[in-house]
Structure 1
Amino acid sequence: MTTVPPAEAFEAHRARLFGLAYRLLGSAQEAEDAVQDAYLRFSGADRAAIEHLGAWLAKTVTNLCLNRLTSARARREQYVGTWLPEPVVTADGTLGPLESAERRDQVSLALLVLLERLTPAERAVYVLREAFGYAHREIADVLELSEANCRQLYRRAALRVAEPEGRFEAAPERQADLVASFVTAAREGDLAALERLLAADVIWWADGGGRVTAALRPIEGRDKVVRFLAGISRRFAPDTEFTAAEVNGEAALVTWAGGTLVAIAVPELRGGLITRVRAVVNPDKLRFARQQLARV
Structure 2
Amino acid sequence: MTVHMEDVYREYKSLLFSLAYRMTGSVTEAEDIIQDTFLALAGTDIQDIHHVKSYLCKAVTNRCLDLLKSARWKREQYVGEWLPEPMLDASETSDPLQSVIAEEAVSYGLLVLLENLPSTLRAVFVLRTALDYEYSEIAAMLEMTEVNCRKKFSLARKKLAEAGDQAIVPQSNRTSSLVEQLMQAISKSDAMSLIGLLTKDAVFVSDGGGKVRAAIHPIFSDERITAFWMGVWPRWASHATMQIRSINGQDGIAVYSEGQLKMIIQITMNEEEDRIARLYMMVNPDKLAHLQKENG
User: Shared fold by TM > 0.5?
Assistant: yes
TM-score for the superposition, normalised by structure 1: 0.89
Cα deviations by residue, 1:214-271 (Å, 9 ceiling, x for unpaired): 1101112222222211222221121111011122222211111222111111111122
Aligned to 2:107: 108
Distance 2:169 2:119 in 1: 28
Aligned to 1:230: 230
Paired letter, 1:43: A
Alignment of 1:146-165 (within 5 A): 146-163=145-162
Aligned to 1:284: 286
Structure 2 SS opposite 1:286 = helix
Paired letter, 1:246: S
Between the two proteins, the alignment pairs up a number of residues equal to 286
Cα deviations by residue, 1:97-143 (Å, 9 ceiling, x for unpaired): 45xxxxx6xx2232222223332222111110121111011102222
* Closer/same/farther in 2, CA of residues 170 and 57 from structure 1, 3 Å limit: closer
Distance 2:165 2:65 in 1: 28
How far did 1:82 drift? 0.9
Distance 1:140 1:218 in 2: 37
Aligned to 1:101: none
How far did 1:208 drift? 0.8
Alignment of 1:11-90 (within 5 A): 11-90=10-89
Distance 2:6 2:203 in 1: 46
Distance 1:171 1:56 in 2: 33
- List alignment gaps of at least 5 residues for structure 2: 92-98
- List alignment gaps of at least 5 residues for structure 1: 99-103
Aligned to 1:187: 187
* Closer/same/farther in 2, CA of residues 2 and 289 from structure 1, 3 Å limit: same
TM-score for the superposition, normalised by structure 2: 0.89
* Greater fraction helix: 2
Structure 1 SS opposite 2:233 = helix
* Closer/same/farther in 2, CA of residues 261 and 23 from structure 1, 3 Å limit: same
Alignment of 1:136-285 (within 5 A): 136-163=135-162, 166-167=165-166, 168=168, 172-270=172-270, 271-285=273-287
* Closer/same/farther in 2, CA of residues 39 and 169 from structure 1, 3 Å limit: closer
* Closer/same/farther in 2, CA of residues 127 and 110 from structure 1, 3 Å limit: same
Aligned to 2:95: none
Structure 2 SS opposite 1:83 = coil
Is 1:10 paired with 2:9? yes
Taking only the aligned residue pairs, the percentage that are identical comes to: 38
